[in-house]
Amino acid sequence: MHIIDRRRDASGKSLGNRQRFIRRARALVRHAVREASKDRKITDTGRGGEVTVPADGVREPSLRRSAKGGIREYLLPGNKNYIEGDSIERPPSGGGAGGASADGGGEDEFRFVLSDDEFIDLFLEDLELPDLAKRQVMGEEKTQPRRAGYRSSGPPSQLSVPRTMRNSLSRRIALRRPKPDEIAALEDRIRELEDAGADEDEILSLRAELERQGLRARAIPFIDPVDVRYRRYESVPKPVAQAVMFCLMDVSGSMDEHLKDLAKRFYTLLYLFLSRRYRYVEVVFIRHTHEAKEVDEDTFFNSRETGGTVVSTALEEMISVLADRFPANAWNIYAAQASDGDNLPIDNERTVALLKNVILPLCQYYAYIEVGREPEERRRGGEPPSTLWRAYELIQSPQIPMAMRKVRDRRDIYPVFRELFERKINSASTGAR
Amino acid sequence: MKIKPAKNKLLFEGADWDFDTLARIYDGVAEIGLGELGLDIYRPRIEVITTEQMLDAYASTGMPLFYRHWSFGKQFVRNETLYRKGWQGLAYEIVINSNPCVVYLLEENTATMQALVLAHAAFGHNHFFKNNYVFKQWTDADGILDYLAFAKNYITECEDRYGVSEVERVLDAAHALQNQGIHRYPGKRTIDLRSEEKRERERREHGERLFNDLWRTVPEQGKKTKKRSERDRRRALLGLPEENILYFLEKTSPRLKPWQREVIRIVRHIAQYFYPQRQTKMMNEGCATYTHYEIMQRLVDRGQITEGAYFEFLHSHTNVVTQPNFDDRRYYGLNPYALGFAMMKDVERICVNPQAEDRQWFPDIAGNGDPMGTLKDIWANYRDESFVSQFLSPHVIRKLGLFLVVDDYKEKDLSVDAIHNERGYTRVRRALARHYDVARHDPDIQIVDVDLEGDRRLELRHHVVDGVTLDEDDAERVLQHLANLWGYEVYLIETAGEGEPATKHHAEPVHPFV
């Protein structure tokens, strides 16, 4: 009997069907994903997971007998006490004493698990960083070799002589291989003694010594295969187009936990979006109080600071980072700022000037998110626009690649995010560098 | 003290197996299955698959290849979710009614389980597929894999040519009607010319033999009985009433394109192929379970498997044939494995060791001493419904404590109609047979009329039994699909008969196939 081993065959035969299903239920699934991501922790957003869609949308109807009404018979096993003619109280759910439809007539929700990629794909669907489209970051990947240390095998052309010699030298020293001039000195000495007609014994012992040294020099090679080193290269993806995203956030005392949380969510979403959708995007995190500092991602989201609020410091820090590492002719520059709108009033002028004269001309796009408090807290009288909002409003115009939005609740984040980065926006900004 | 079986006789030891072990197990099982039990099987094609592949196979109703449709994807994600969450285990095997008979074995099975599963599927189910009359009559085991390959290619081609969504629409509509796409009775064969002439000749000779001039003098009946109404003539021409809706659409629908008819035909053929499995679910599992039990017992008797393996087998076998009582939390209807196995074992008992009661109930088989022959006859010639109505013995009814509860929506309470006693046996048996009558569970819906020369309105009738009407929401949806396929108005009237109250459903094509 020949038994076929199918285990090596490609699995995923159902992939086509699965994709068809998700496409079919796309609108429903997208909605479900949006709902699901609202209640998730930030760090979980990038993972796949279970979603629930109303079964009605993916129903497969058939002509079947209704589960209600009529005369029905049920044949049940395990009778203990019933005798013919007994009556049993009707179970509350309608249906019979156990014969309720097994074909799932009553189900109203359909639950299933999306993979990470499917989840994030739907999550980010039709979102796009403005202007990056023209560089087609998602296009073909090129790699270029980059030096990455040494290795012990490789093509002769990559032989690293200095490194090989260094290894050889240390080995020779460690094994006390006689140096050529030591041997030469020994030979000279013998010749000298012979010429002087000195004591035979001494000459003999020196000859023996010479012999031994010569043997040692032959036994310990000058270059051993273990010494040889070659240059190692790694191929790294060569950015076709690169973008840098600046995340600026006010972490001063006026930003309470709720507001920080809102801002955090916005950035998480943003970061997630960038790191998933665009491969070659650098992200710079700058937090500020009355002074600004570039930090890593973890610190950005998790550490606490106290102090006043001077927005211009963050902008200055951003400008210095730009000048340092991201020349405007090589990078597409995007920035997103989150704040509660507080700023030292005298700083407004400087902030606006920096933004208008230095940053906006460099940026492809600048987004300002103003996080606000829950409605109950801010009910007292008309809620005047914040200092920063008023200042920023002055420079708003369709020609300027800048958008501003207010966010009150974490439910608002997703729609705002969407709106900010909707594809159509890019008509406002100017051409590629 | 028991003598330990000689080592070289063992088929395997421990849980691990490799392909040599598997081949040895197969040979051991085959020796008993073919030699001792005399089973008649299609040549098996045994394939070892992974859990991933098992999930894939689930989605396409177990078939190795199938056309693509989102509903299979839905099935797949449902199973995957259930499996990953640990709410549902996977089957140990899948077996396909084809020639050669494809048997998938899960790679995670232990050696004992592989032996059990081979006996169960490659011999039990396989024998049933090859010999049972409903499978013989309605399925083509030789051709099914080729047909599925054709169907898959055909639908892929259609998708390339007409677009995925267009094809999907036809499939959606056809799937909605697939339970109404089954021929339940073998139709009339069209007779070839030679036998037609022969029949005509015989008829004439018969007429001449019986010729009596006196008949001419008998006054003729009124003409009206002879003349058929326009409606009757029309219906006869179209072969109405017709319960196979998909067949009718494929042949008669005025607006469908040839490729759409072919797609409908594919869905119809596949539904027809699976129909016998619904009709024989309990017997099929009973046959396979009985076979594996028998084979494993004999392997133990021959000393070909260890006692440890035997206990593992018993554990798994008992799990399979457990029937929780109706008041048990695990109760989920009658377990076809449990009932099937119990009935097969019972037939064996009646053949070998009958009681007075059995002699009275089963005079034909009681004490005939040939259980295997009797069972093979049963496996060949019955389906669930007829098997129960012929062979459910009082013994099994008592053993399972079967009782019949009637739920009349007009009454306040349910009533116990029959229990496992002398007065109840027959009624319980009849009710259980009805329970397994698939044709009774599918609503009886027929196309009764259409005027192709007039407004082309399609009229359907659902013959309501026991006052159970169609699920209204679903019926509306299916009718919409039907109207789209037909291209004109569609009516469905639900009634228990003339003069009984009737419900009417109606749909007009909103997005017809053109």
User: Quick check: is A66 in a domain?
Assistant: no
Query: Cα(A234)–Cα(B130) distance, rounded to whole angstroms?
Result: 61
Domain boundary among A231, A255, A284: A231
Torsion on CA atoms B237, B241, B242, B248, rounded to nearest 10: 40
Of these ranges, A380-384, B209-213, B458-462, the one predicted with the greatest mean pLDDT is B458-462
Quick check: A365 pLDDT over 90?
no
The two structure tokens encoding residue A348: 């407004």
Choose between A100 and B512: higher pLDDT. B512
In this prediction, residue B373 has a pLDDT band, given cuts at 50, 70 and 90, of: very high
How much is the average pLDDT of B243-261? 90
Residue A181 lies in a domain: yes
Q: pLDDT (tens digit, 9 = 90+) per residue, A309-360?
A: 888 888 888 889 888 888 776 677 778 888 877 788 888 888 888 888 888 8
pLDDT in tens, B348-367: 999 999 999 999 999 999 88
Same domain (yes/no): B346, B305 = no
The pLDDT value given to residue A429:
39
Partner residue facing B325 (CB), from A14, A75, A77: A77
Residues B333, B306, single domain; the answer is no
B414 and B298 within one domain: no
Backbone angles phi, psi at A150, to 5 degrees: -125, 160
Does the pLDDT at position A430 exceed 70? no
Within this chain, do residues A211 and A255 fall inside the same structural domain, yes or no?
Answer: no
Q: Which of B179, B424, B469 sits opposite A84 (nearest CB)?
A: B424
Interface-testing mutation among B61, B94, B246, B416, with chain A (most A C-beta atoms within 10 A): B416
* Chain-chain contact of A70 with B468 (C-beta, under 8 angstroms): yes
Residue with tokens 């009407």, as numbered in its chain? B469
Tell me: do B401 and B291 sit in the same domain.
no
Chains A, B: CB pairs < 8 Å: 261
3-state secondary structure of B440: helix
Q: Identify whether A98 is part of a domain.
A: no
- The total domain count for chain B is 2
Structural domain includes residue A36: yes
CB of B32 within 8 Å of any CB in chain A? no
Confidence category of residue B284, pLDDT binned at 50, 70, 90: very high
Q: Which residues of A127-140 are buried (b: 16+ CB within 10 A; e: fewer)?
A: ebbbbbeebebeee
Report the pLDDT value the prediction gives residue A271, as an integer from 0 to 100.
Answer: 66
Does a structural domain hold residue A80? Answer: no
C-alpha–C-alpha distance, residues B204 and B82, integer Å? 68
**Are residues A388 and A266 located together in one domain of the fold?**
yes
Domain that holds residue B111: 7-132+280-313
Whether residues B471 and A84 touch (CB distance < 8 A) is answered with no
> Is the same domain home to A171 and A35?
no
- Cβ atoms of B291 and B337 within 8 Å: the answer is no
Q: How does residue A292 score in pLDDT terms, banded at 50, 70 and 90?
A: confident
The greatest distance separating any two alpha carbons of chain B, rounded to the nearest whole angstrom, comes to: 96
Query: Is B171 part of the contact surface with chain A (CB cutoff 8 Å)?
Result: no
Query: What are A390's two structure tokens?
Result: 């008023």
Residues A195, A249 within the same domain: no
Among A51-65, A271-285, B328-342, the range scoring the smallest mean pLDDT is A271-285
Q: Is residue A9 domain-resident?
A: no
For residue B194, being part of any structural domain is answered with: no
Query: Does residue B374 share a domain with residue B289?
Result: no
Both B30 and B100 in one domain: the answer is yes
A185 CB contacts (<8 Å, ≥6 apart)? none
Test B414 with A19 for CB contact under 8 angstroms.
no
- What pLDDT is recorded for position B337? 93
CA-CA distance, B156 to B167, in Å (whole number)?
A: 9
B356 and B305 in one domain?
no
Asked whether B55 and B76 are in contact (CB, 8 A), the reply is yes
Last residue of a domain, one of B379, B411, B439: B439
- Chain A touched by B45 (CB under 8 Å): yes
Q: Is A23's Cβ below 8 Å from some Cβ in B? A: yes
Residue of B nearest to A18 (CA): B73
Residues A417 and A268 in one domain: yes
Residues B332 and B298 in one domain: no
| Averaged pLDDT, B107-113 | 89
Q: Is A76 a member of any domain?
A: no
Nearest to B116 by CA among B326, B262, B321, B264: B321
Q: Domain range holding A43?
A: 19-56+109-125
Measured between beta carbons, which residues in chain A are less than 8 angstroms from residue B435? 73, 75
- Examine residue B66 and state whether it is found in any structural domain, yes or no: yes
What is the per-residue burial (b if ≥16 Cβ within 10 Å, else e) of A201-213? Answer: eebeebeeebeeb
Q: Which residues pair with A295 in a beta bridge?
A: A285
pLDDT bucket at B287, cuts 50 / 70 / 90: very high
Task: Calculate ∠ Cα A145-A146-A150, nearest 5°.
Answer: 110
Contact check, Cβ <8 Å, B478/A58: no
Q: Is residue B394, in this structure, part of any structural domain at all?
A: yes
The Cα B427–Cα B420 span in angstroms is 10
pLDDT for the residue numbered B372: 93
pLDDT for A131 beyond 80: no
State the Cα–Cα distance between residues A27 and A132, nearest whole angstrom.
Answer: 26
B369 and B295 assigned to the same domain: no
Higher-pLDDT residue of A230, B230 = A230
Q: Residue A71 domain-assigned?
A: no
Residue A184 shares a structural domain with residue A307: no
Is residue A256 domain-shared with residue A368, that is, in the same domain? Answer: yes
Whether chain A has a CB inside 8 Å of the CB on B23: the answer is: yes
Whether B344 and B284 share a structural domain: no
Asked which of A176, A209, A231 is the last residue of a domain, the reply is A231
What are the distances in angstroms from CA B499 to CA A71, B231, B495?
A: 20, 21, 9
Q: How many domains are there within chain A? A: 3
DSSP 3-state of B180 = helix
Same domain, residue pair A166 and A194: yes
Q: What is the mean pLDDT of residues A227-244?
A: 76
Give the domain CATH number at A390: 3.40.50.410
For residue B161, what are the contacts with CB-CB under 8 A and spacing of at least 6?
Answer: B259
Query: Which whole number is the average pLDDT over B424-432?
Result: 92
Query: Which of 88-147 (B) contact A at CB < 8 A?
Result: 104, 107
Q: For A61, which of B56, B176, B417 is closest by C-beta distance?
A: B176
Whole-number Å distance between alpha carbons of B325 and A97? 12
N-term to C-term CA, chain A? 68
For residues B119 and B107, give the distance between their C-alpha atoms in angstroms, rounded to a whole number: 16
Under 8 Å between Cβ of B341 and B323: no
Residue B94 lies in a domain: yes
| Residues A416 and A328 placed together within one structural domain of the fold | yes
Q: What's the predicted TM-score (pTM) here?
A: 0.68
Alpha-carbon span B48 to B18, nearest angstrom: 11
Of B272, B296, B313, which residue sits at a domain end?
B313
Share of chain B above pLDDT 70, in %: 96
Q: Is B425 on the interface with A (CB under 8 A)?
A: no
What type of residue sits at position B141?
A: A
Chain B: nearest CA to A47, how far in angstroms?
16
Which of B168, B467, B475 minimises the CB distance to A70?
A: B467
Task: Judge if B114 and B17 occupy the same domain.
Answer: yes
Look up residue B436 and give its amino acid.
Answer: Y
Average pLDDT in chain B: 87
- The pair of three-digit structure tokens given for residue A61, joined into one six-digit string: 């109807």
Q: At which of B404, B439, B474 does a domain end?
A: B439
Which residue of chain B has the CA closest to A14? B56
What sign results for the dihedral spanned by CA atoms A51, A52, A53, A56? positive
A226 and A287 share a domain? Answer: no
Whether residue A287 is found in the same domain as residue A182: no
Q: Is the same domain home to B59 and B17?
A: yes
pLDDT digits (tens, 9 = 90+) for A153-166: 888 888 999 999 99
A319 and A388 co-located in one domain: yes
